[in-house]
Structure formats: structure tokens, C-alpha cells
Amino acid sequence: MAAAVPLPLPVMLLVAVAVMLVGAGAGAAGVRGGRQRQQQLRMGFYDKSCPAAERIVGDYVRLHVRRVPTVAPALLRTHYHDCFVRGCDGSILLNSTAAGAAEKDAPPNLTLRGFDLIDRVKGLVEEACPGVVSCADVLALAARDAVAAIGGPSWRVPTGRRDGTVSTMQEAVRELPSPSMTFPQLVALFAGKGLDVRDLVWLSGAHTIGIAHCSSFADRLYSYPSAGNGTGTVPPLDAAYAANLRQRKCRMGGRDAAVEMDPGSFLTFDLGYYHTVLKHRALFRSDAALVTDAAARADIAGVVSSPPEVFFQVFARSMARLGAVEVKTGSQGEIRKHCAVVNS
Ligand code: HEM
Ligand SMILES: *[C@@H]1O[C@H](CO)[C@@H](O)[C@H](O)[C@H]1NC(C)=O
Ligand SMILES: *[C@@H]1O[C@H](CO)[C@@H](O)[C@H](O)[C@H]1NC(C)=O
Ligand SMILES: CC(=O)N[C@H]1CO[C@H](CO)[C@@H](O)[C@@H]1O
């Protein structure tokens, strides 16, 4: 795909639709700079070595998402965090050890959930084919299947990722975007992962599902109502909405209270998030920052005035790109036996 040339949104959408029509799906072929690595991830990597793997993951995830739908946002976020620190190598799943604190225990990660589920489904996969399927692939597949199970988009997950053996809290703090970042800061962080402005805009759409704790956006409730300089100034949270959060949700439960990011449809993958962004009701400064860029704002306006399938398409395409960030393949890393510990 001609991903290197910035295309106007309608053209990009036509391209995306055309790709769908020829049956290639929202593939990962457009991952820039990851060409050699990308060649080694492939669809159905386990078709011969563990033909049941993808079905085991899918069945288990669908069963649990039906019972506990909030697992879907948790898995999606965990996969994203995994990919942003040391690439999608399952390092987010490692427990801290006597030698040091792991990514899991970094402040931005403390609210991640879904580790147990991954450990259990990996256990089932290990029973079927010991030592074959990586934790990184289990997480990538589980995130995709969980989002699809709540009626969200699906995307192609080529497999063959290998598991990393290193996970440090310090790196997670450094690599992960903070909710108080401005647009240029976010763009720079994403660029460092080979992801472009549109990936930032569409992947942020993941906030159409899930919850946030008041501590994550307290900066916008109690002080610094706006941030940035000149045209980059991030607009404050809608005053009435902020007052409501201050006086109710975030008052009763304090910093640990959880708020739906897309109120009323926080388990439905829809356009609600972008509507909250446009109404200045998105919780994080990093969400509000998206409309401080004229091109990003125009892209968002285009998507909210289109059928949800259009958002699904662009989200799926960016997810495929995210899932290929700095992956380890071939003989790199290992296939962990337990996702929480490196092999001895
Ligand atoms: C652009 C930079 C991003 C920032 C600054 C950011 C920040 C955050 C924060 C602070 C939370 C709330 C955590 C809490 O208080 O419990 C959150 C939740 C969430 N984020 Fe992001 N995020 C970003 C991008 C993404 C991306 C790319 C994805 C996935 C593709 C994603 C998926 C989610 C999901 C699904 C939740 C809800 C989790 C749950 O309900 O357990 N985020 N994000
Ligand atoms: C990893 O840590 C969790 C939570 O502390 C614990 O329940 C689990 O048993 C640990 N896993 C391993 C394999 O040590
Ligand atoms: C705004 O600009 C001033 C001076 O250039 C700088 O000190 C300050 O950190 C900037 N604020 C933000 C939020 O970027
Ligand atoms: C929301 C949350 O759990 N925040 C915690 C993040 O991590 C720091 C230090 O590890 C804790 O002090 C916070 O309470």
C-alpha cells in the first residue's frame, strides 16, 4: 500500500475499501520500515505446527467476553502496551522478579487487566502443542478476537512473533504515551514506533471502549485546564462535564473511581469516542489533542459522518500495523512456557 504518501481521507478510504474487495483484508502489508521483520510474520504461521491454536484462543476468549465483556478493552489495551515497549513480544506479560520490576508494574500499567486470562489460554494452547505458540501471538490473537466478540472490527493477525525475555518498569514509563501529552508529543512517540499520524488518530479510537480511573485525567479536573502553546493549545474538558465528574463520579470514589470513556456505550465499538472528542468530553488531554491538528480534525470529521464500517476499516488497518511493531521472529527470543516467566 502507498502508505508513505499522505492521502486525503476519502482517497485513503477508497484504497482501504478496494483492498477489502480484492479479498486481501486490512492487511499488515503497509507496515513501513518493518519490511524484513514483516516478511516473517505470516497468516496461519501455526497451521502445521499447531493447527488448533487460533481456534483455542478464539473459543476461550469468546466464552469469557460473553461472561465478562470488560475483558475486551482490557485485552486490547494490554496488546497495545505490549507493542509499545520492546515491540509486540509478550514482555508486558512477564512478572517482576527479584532482579527488578517488570513493565506490568509500571504506573501506566497498573490498571491493565486480563493477565490471568492470557495465562489460562496459553495453558490450553500448551496442552495442545507444548512450546510452539508464543505468548506474544496469543495476546495479539486474543485482543483481536475479544474486540470482534463485542461486535467491533476484526483485523488480520499474521503470526510468528517470538517472546522477549526482558521487561523493565523504567522502559514502560519511558515508551508509553502519557494521557497529558500534546499532539506533537504523541506524534513523535508514535513515529518512534513506525506509526504515523493517522495510526495515532484511529488507534486512539480504541477509547470508544473501556474505562479510565479518575487519577488518569485528574489534571483536567482540578488544574491546568488547558495545555500547550498557540495553535497547539489543548482545549479544556467541557466545563459542565468536568463539573459533573468533579462533583459526582470522581468525588465519591476519589482517584480510584472508574469512568466510562464513551459514556453510555463503553462496551460498544462505535463512533461515540470521536463524538466525545469533538464535544470536548473525551477524558484525556491526549484525546482532546487530536482536534488541535487541522488534518486530524478533518479526518475525524470525515469518519464521524460516515458509516461505522469506515472507522472499522481504518482501525483494523492501523491495528495490523501496531501488531507488527518491532516484532521478534525466527530464532530471536523464545517461546515462553508460562507467559509470566521467562524459560529457565
Ligand atoms: C494515544 C496515546 C494513548 C494514551 C495517552 C492512552 C492512555 C490511556 C489511559 C490513561 C487509559 C485509562 C487507564 C486507567 O485509568 O485505568 C487508557 C485506557 C484504554 N486505552 Fe488508551 N491510551 C492511548 C492509546 C491507546 C491505544 C493505541 C489503544 C489500543 C489500540 C488504547 C486502548 C485503550 C483501552 C481499550 C482502554 C480501556 C482499558 C480498560 O477498560 O481496562 N489506548 N488509555
Ligand atoms: C505472576 O504474578 C501474579 C500476581 O502477582 C501471580 O498470581 C502469578 O502466580 C505469578 N505467576 C508466576 C508464573 O509466577
Ligand atoms: C509553552 O511555551 C513556553 C515558552 O516557549 C514553554 O516554557 C512551555 O513549556 C510551553 N508549554 C507547553 C505546555 O508546551
Ligand atoms: C492508578 C494507580 O494504580 N496508580 C499507581 C501507579 O503506581 C504508583 C507507583 O507504583 C502507585 O503509587 C499509584 O497508586
- Rounded Cα gap, residues 72 and 255, in angstroms: 23
Dihedral of alpha carbons 159, 318, 324, 27, sign: positive
CATH topology classification for 199-317: Peroxidase; domain 2 (1.10.420)
| CA 230–ligand 3 middle distance (angstroms) | 10
For 145-192, give the DSSP string: HHHHHTT-------B---B-S---HHHHHHHSPPTT--HHHHHHHHHT
Taking only the tens of pLDDT, the chain with its 344 residues reads 344 444 455 545 544 444 443 333 333 434 444 444 445 899 999 999 999 999 999 999 999 999 999 999 999 999 999 999 999 999 999 999 998 999 988 876 456 778 999 999 999 999 999 999 999 999 999 999 999 999 999 999 999 999 999 999 999 999 999 998 999 999 999 999 999 999 999 999 999 999 999 999 988 888 655 555 555 578 889 999 999 999 998 987 677 899 999 999 999 999 999 999 999 999 999 999 999 999 999 999 999 999 999 999 999 999 999 999 999 999 999 999 999 999 98
96 lines ligand 2 (CB under 6 A): no
- What distances in angstroms separate CA 201 from CA 34, 40, 274, 314, one per listed residue? 21, 28, 10, 10
For 228-295, give the DSSP string: SSGGGPBPPP-HHHHHHHHHTHHHHSGGG-EEESSTT-TTS-SSHHHHHHHTT--SSHHHHGGGGSHH
Whether 213 is catalytic is no
- Rounded Cα gap, residues 340 and 335, in angstroms: 12
Ligand number, closest to the Cα atom of 106: 4
341 lines ligand 2 (CB under 6 A): yes
- Rounded Cα gap, residues 209 and 230, in angstroms: 31
Contact between 134 and 40 under an 8 Å Cβ cutoff? The reply is no
270 assigned ligand-binding residue: yes
- Give me the residue spans of the domains in the chain: 199-317
Contact between 325 and 199 under an 8 Å Cβ cutoff? The reply is no
Q: Collect all residues with Cβ–Cβ distance below 8 Å to 21 and sequence separation of at least 6.
A: none
Whose CA is closest to atom 11 on ligand 4? 107
pLDDT score at 113? 79
Contact between 81 and 112 under an 8 Å Cβ cutoff? The reply is yes
Whole-model pTM: value is: 0.87
Whose CA is closest to atom 14 on ligand 4? 107
Q: Which of the following is catalytic: 79, 81, 213, 280? A: 81
Q: Map grid coordinates 496488546 to a residue.
A: 79
Mutate to test the pocket of ligand 3, among 226, 229, 285 (most ligand atoms within 8 A of CB): 229
pLDDT score at 234? 83
| CA 101–ligand 2 middle distance (angstroms) | 13
- Rounded Cα gap, residues 24 and 123, in angstroms: 32
- Rounded Cα gap, residues 92 and 158, in angstroms: 20
Mutate to test the pocket of ligand 1, among 92, 207, 215, 292 (most ligand atoms within 8 A of CB): 207
130 assigned ligand-binding residue: no
- Rounded Cα gap, residues 83 and 176, in angstroms: 10
